[in-house]
Amino acid sequence: MSKESFLSKYKTEIDRFIASAFAEDIGHGDHTSRSCLSNDLTSKAQLLVKEPGVIAGVELAEYVFK
């Protein structure tokens, strides 16, 4: 399934899920993140892949984080 067809097919549900996740942290915020992370903290990750494989969900993750 292409990125466009998946996102367009489930856009309403995905947007509802994102809104729900934000609503959960409204008010006092996410207590776990507030106690563990600094507001000015940035990070990087490096993926070490030892064998060929498929990474699923990249397009969805991009949409969610935008």
Q: Per residue in 21-54, pLDDT tens?
A: 888 877 677 777 777 877 788 888 898 999 999 8
Q: Can you read off the two tokens belonging to residue 29?
A: 């915020």
Average pLDDT, the chain: 84
| Amino acid occupying residue 54 | V
Q: How many residues does the chain have?
A: 66
Does the model's pTM come out above 0.85?
A: no
Q: List CB contacts of 3: < 8 A, sequence separation 6 or more.
A: 59
Give me the pLDDT at residue 1, please.
Answer: 54
Q: How far is CA 38 from CA 23, 30, 42, 49, 64, in A?
A: 21, 13, 9, 30, 22
